[in-house]
Amino acid sequence: MLAPRAGKTSALWVSNSQGYNSNMRVQHLVCLFTGAVWLLALPARAAEDAFLPVARLLVKYCLECHSGPEPAAALNLTTREGLLAGGESGEAAVVPGQPEQSYLVHQVQSGNMPPEKTRRVLTEAERQQLVAWVAAGAAWPEGRVLDPYDFTTEHRAGKDWWSLQPVVRPSLPAEAADPWVRNPIDAFVLARLRVAGLEPSPEAERLTWLRRVTFDLVGLPPTPEEIEAFLADAAADAYERVVDRLLASPRYGERWARHWLDVARFAESAGYEVNTARPNAWPYRDYVIAALNEDRPYDQFIVEQLAGDQTGAEAATGFLVAGAHDLVGIKNIEGQLQQRADDLDDMVSTTAGAFLGITMNCARCHDHKFDPVTQTDYYGLAAVLAGVQHGERVVRLPGYEERLRHEPEVRRELAEVQARLRELLWMHEPVAGSGQVRPPVSPVGNVDRFLPVRARKVRFTILATSDAEPCLDELEVYTAEQPPRNVALEAAGGRATASSVYAGGALEIHQLAHVNDGRYGNARSWISAEPQAGWVEIELAEECLIDRVAWARDREGKYADRLATRYRIEVAPEGGAWRVVASSEDRALYQPGSPPAAPQERLPPEARAEHDLLASRIDELRAALPEAATMSVYAGAFKEPEPVRRLHRGEVMQPREVVPPGAVAALGRPLELDPAAPEPLRRLTLARWIASGDNPRTARVMVNRLWHHHFGRGLVATPNDLGWHGGLPSHAELLDWLADEFVQRGWSLKAMHRLIVLSATYRQASAPRAECVAVDAANRLLWRYAPRRLEAESIRDAVLAVSGVLDLRMGGPGYDAFEPNTNYVKVYIPKTNFGPAEWRRMIYESRPRMVPDATFGMFDCPDASRSQPQRPTSLTPLQALSLLNSPFMVQQAELFAARLRREAPLDTTAQIQRAFLLAFGRTADEVELESARAAVASGGLESLCRALFNANEFLYVH
């Protein structure tokens, strides 16, 4: 049992209604806890069971924890010894076997206890229970210490709260044999309905169910072809095959990833006043989509998001740092400490809420007022995550290990193909001094061919540059043989000297040794110390026949400054004189800022075709290298943490004792983590502790989330809070049965989806029934399927699908719904022109924090400032106006109309029927047909399309 920390006073007291005086000191009972873990000797089971009712009574009525000043006189009533010792008066609170001599019994029977201020009244049965306990000898199990968090009271949850108890699979109710029941879910639902005197609704029409389940599982409307096939399918397993098809679709992961990203408070900007974009945050989004599509076991999904760097799913730790982060901050020490405390609070709160359904942030400044969570619990969890820092790190993407196995043969082939391509280009490069005008110099690569000559030394002299001191990333000298060899390499015996070496700036990247180390780019280059001038000389290992020199400013293409625009190349044989073999004199004039012509453009047609094949193969080989499966990702940086201290009242300038890494004690099993454990082990241990099948919260929380998104409301109404404020579940036995089934099925999310959407409960019609509304207007008992408006993402995706332009390309950087700008503080100006780049699913929108999408943001999209497990459903005029008049919707209505004209040319009635089929999954009746013809006649086909996009039938599932 974990007690509050040292220095924290929990007042556990009894009082009469007459006020405090010297004769009533024993009325006030206070327990001062030390902050250590009290190890209780396990009492005999029988003694504990007999004691529990009395212990619950004492905690609930007599030992209620109050904040405030410590009473003047204190009596320890949390142990049997304290009970018998009495207070300052020497009068024992309880005399075993003699209730008439026991002060506590006297106070209870006289009505002075509990205190009037608690507004509780003991029942007669409870009074008699206390008297009987004292009369029987006041049995108290050995070593037992009462804790104010032991039991639930009228004001807060205790350790006996329903969601803190182990999941026990309940037996199926008798209704399991009812013909309406399709699977165990229905048996529990039907049992609750019949207790209330209700019956379930009839089954929904086939088309209604198909539209419902398709939007639920993949977030898109069923196509006319899918509708036709299902309505014609009379097989007994027709519903099952629809569900299996939808769960196997890659669209499933895109749909359900959005729900999880809301919980994870994911956005692609930093938030706060600068709200800078996070261009490398998207791999976490792609990780979630892939994990859901693969039906990765949920316990593994948890571990990867908290410690994926230790399990091979590195992008998954984007979960930890998906929240807002103040890039500006406050520069004084208090401001820096506050920012770090806020970052940690975001991580702690999101982790606890997402996986455990605990409002952990309520224990940041004091013990939780409503749940058995202490401040020590909070800072123990903070100590686990204290090594996590906001930022990017290079991560290995899926496929890295496979690429690593094949790296040697890939690199071997890549070198061969590059050599063939280089030779092809150089064969068609004019020879220096031949009278042909050669192309201007290029920052990314140049070759100077000359007639073969024997040389021991080669000198490259710069006479002028584009600006500043000249820079070369690599100087290469090739032999006149097949295949040619680069003999300038240091590895081949080449020795470099220079007129000077740049002495400013980043010295480690601009060194003479880099000019012939075989590595390209500005980060491995030489810079002269002379403005607009300088030379580099390579002494070869031996005299050999050469016919070309290759050089560049930056072959990676990142820099174009410091380019040599005038130069000469000289060679000297062993012991001989220097002579010029090439220069810039016969090159065209370099034009700064003008993109150089691609070298392949100068090739004849047959050589150009060969070039394209070789270049394509090079791209394929580079994509197969291990480094192609690495990138810098906003997935957090990790370092060994400093000790974490409890902050008195949450104040960063009032640190108290060090708190070792830990978790929530009320969840039972301790974290079993050494206080000095290294940072990665802390996260991995916590992840496995959460993902354990023995954890009473984990499975309950997730199946409740699934239920929430399928029915619009969870069995517990608050998906991130299964504590006191979450209340009791509407179907407690069903929740526990689902939680146990989830674990038994290997934590498979798809298996649980299948179970839910194939239930008779899910297949009910949505029409209201007066007799049911009178009893359960909120539909908590699930007597029908409650109609729901689509979320913003499903509305937008459905619009694109119906207009026929939806781009189903998956993954990678998302599209931007805002105009590009290069301001230091980005200004988010919504786009008004849209093209194919913006026609992807909305899950791929690079969504900034706090700035909603101009058209769909008003449909209750979260701003990602915090975890949002459930979205509100508002109804505003702006929503209708946006769907009618926004540039995006006007364009999509035009595209929808163009599709109708293509698919049903020259026939207005056929166009209308096709429009209804695409938008609603059905054809128009005669009344609708007449109205639609009038709309087309007055405003054109586009006007009808805009009306259909605004119809409730398009925006809601029933």
Instruction: Summarize pLDDT for 394-422 with one digit per residue, the tens.
Output: 998 888 889 999 999 999 999 899 888 98
Q: How confident is the model at residue 9 (pLDDT cuts 50, 70, 90)?
A: very low
> Are residues 476 and 589 both part of a single domain?
yes
Q: Which residue has the tokens 């740092």?
A: 321
The pLDDT score that the predictor gives to residue 72 is 30
- Residue 241's CB is within 10 A of a number of other CB atoms, namely 13
In a domain, 953, yes or no: yes
Query: What span, in angstroms and rounded, lies between the C-alpha atoms of 351 and 690?
Result: 10
Query: What span, in angstroms and rounded, lies between the C-alpha atoms of 835 and 748?
Result: 38
Query: What span, in angstroms and rounded, lies between the C-alpha atoms of 822 and 825?
Result: 8
In a domain, 581, yes or no: yes
Which tokens hold the place of 773?
């509304």
Q: What is the dihedral of CA 355, 358, 361, 364, to 10 degrees?
A: -110
Query: What span, in angstroms and rounded, lies between the C-alpha atoms of 22 and 678?
Result: 55
Q: What mean pLDDT is predicted for residues 466-475?
A: 94
Q: What mean pLDDT is predicted for residues 340-367?
A: 96
In a domain, 941, yes or no: yes
- 571 touches 549 (CB < 8 A): no
Query: What span, in angstroms and rounded, lies between the C-alpha atoms of 801 and 796?
Result: 9
In a domain, 111, yes or no: yes
Query: Between these two residues, 43 and 737, which has the higher pLDDT value?
Result: 737
Query: Between these two residues, 922 and 599, which has the higher pLDDT value?
Result: 922
> Are residues 664 and 536 both part of a single domain?
no
The pLDDT score that the predictor gives to residue 102 is 86
- Residue 606's CB is within 10 A of a number of other CB atoms, namely 8
Q: What mean pLDDT is predicted for residues 588-609?
A: 84
Q: Which residue has the tokens 């969870």?
A: 714
Tally of CA atoms within 13 A in the half-sphere of 813 that contains its CB: 11
In a domain, 46, yes or no: yes
Q: Reply yes or no on whether the pLDDT at 424 is more than 60.
A: yes
Query: What span, in angstroms and rounded, lies between the C-alpha atoms of 811 and 282?
Result: 8
Q: What mean pLDDT is predicted for residues 795-813?
A: 97
**Residue of 109, 104, 14, 106 lying closest to 60 (CA atoms):** 14
Query: Cα dihedral sign for 462, 467, 469, 473?
Result: negative
* Least confident span in 16-30, 500-514, 659-673: 16-30
In a domain, 763, yes or no: no
Query: Between these two residues, 155 and 522, which has the higher pLDDT value?
Result: 522
Query: What span, in angstroms and rounded, lies between the C-alpha atoms of 848 and 495?
Result: 53
**H or E stretch including 756?**
helix 749-757
Q: Reply yes or no on whether the pLDDT at 17 is more than 50.
A: no
Q: Cα-flanking dihedrals φ and ψ of residue 62, to 5°?
A: -105, -25
> Are residues 477 and 554 both part of a single domain?
yes
The pLDDT score that the predictor gives to residue 503 is 83
In a domain, 17, yes or no: yes
> Are residues 472 and 524 both part of a single domain?
yes
The pLDDT score that the predictor gives to residue 16 is 30
Greatest Cα-to-Cα distance within the chain, rounded to the nearest angstrom: 124
Q: How confident is the model at residue 330 (pLDDT cuts 50, 70, 90)?
A: confident
Query: Between these two residues, 265 and 39, which has the higher pLDDT value?
Result: 265
Average pLDDT, the chain: 89
Query: Domain boundary residue among 140, 164, 188?
Result: 164
> Are residues 547 and 648 both part of a single domain?
no
- 315 touches 397 (CB < 8 A): yes
**Residue of 479, 457, 484 lying closest to 540 (CA atoms):** 457
Residues with Cβ < 8 Å from 605, sequence gap 6 or more? none
> Are residues 19 and 122 both part of a single domain?
yes
Q: How many helices (H) and strands (E) does the chain have?
A: 27, 19
* H-assigned helices in 136-249: 184-195, 206-218, 224-232, 238-248
Tally of CA atoms within 13 A in the half-sphere of 253 that contains its CB: 19
The pLDDT score that the predictor gives to residue 693 is 94
Q: Reply yes or no on whether the pLDDT at 304 is more than 60.
A: yes
What secondary structure letter does DSSP report for 4? P
Q: How confident is the model at residue 63 (pLDDT cuts 50, 70, 90)?
A: low
638 strand-pairing partners? 388
Q: How far is CA 48 from the centre of its chain?
A: 44
Domain count, the chain: 4
> Are residues 325 and 468 both part of a single domain?
no
Query: Between these two residues, 84 and 15, which has the higher pLDDT value?
Result: 84
The pTM of this model reads 0.82
Q: Cα-flanking dihedrals φ and ψ of residue 872, to 5°?
A: -70, 165
The pLDDT score that the predictor gives to residue 506 is 61
> Are residues 561 and 474 both part of a single domain?
yes
Q: Which residues of 828-844 are buried (b: 16+ CB within 10 A; e: fewer)?
A: bebbeebeeebbbbbbb
**Residue of 270, 220, 265 lying closest to 245 (CA atoms):** 220
> Are residues 444 and 577 both part of a single domain?
yes
Which tokens hold the place of 418?
């590059």
Amino acid identity, residue 568?
A: R
Q: What mean pLDDT is predicted for residues 524-528?
A: 95
* Least confident span in 17-26, 266-275, 311-320, 666-675: 17-26
Q: How confident is the model at residue 215 (pLDDT cuts 50, 70, 90)?
A: very high
In a domain, 819, yes or no: no
| Domain of residue 893, CATH code | 1.10.3130.20
The pLDDT score that the predictor gives to residue 79 is 82
> Are residues 344 and 464 both part of a single domain?
no
Tell me the pairing of strands 393-396 and 495-498: unpaired
Q: What mean pLDDT is predicted for residues 599-611?
A: 87
Query: What span, in angstroms and rounded, lies between the C-alpha atoms of 281 and 321?
Result: 9
> Are residues 435 and 383 both part of a single domain?
no
Q: How confident is the model at residue 3 (pLDDT cuts 50, 70, 90)?
A: very low
Q: Is the peptide bond before 483 cis (omega within 30 degrees of 0)?
A: yes
Range of the domain at 455: 429-602
The pLDDT score that the predictor gives to residue 452 is 96
**Residue of 14, 153, 140, 112 lying closest to 724 (CA atoms):** 153
The pLDDT score that the predictor gives to residue 43 is 42
Q: Is the peptide bond before 148 cis (omega within 30 degrees of 0)?
A: no
SS3 state of residue 451: strand
**H or E stretch including 613?**
helix 605-623
> Are residues 445 and 348 both part of a single domain?
no
**CA angle centred on 205, ends 199 and 208, rounded to 5°:** 110
Please give the share of the chain, as a percent, with pLDDT higher than 70: 91
Residues with Cβ < 8 Å from 428, sequence gap 6 or more? 602, 603, 604, 607
Q: 3-state DSSP helix/strand/coil percent for the chain, to nearest 5?
A: 40, 10, 45
pLDDT, tens digit, 9 for 90 and up, residues 128-140 = 888 999 999 988 8
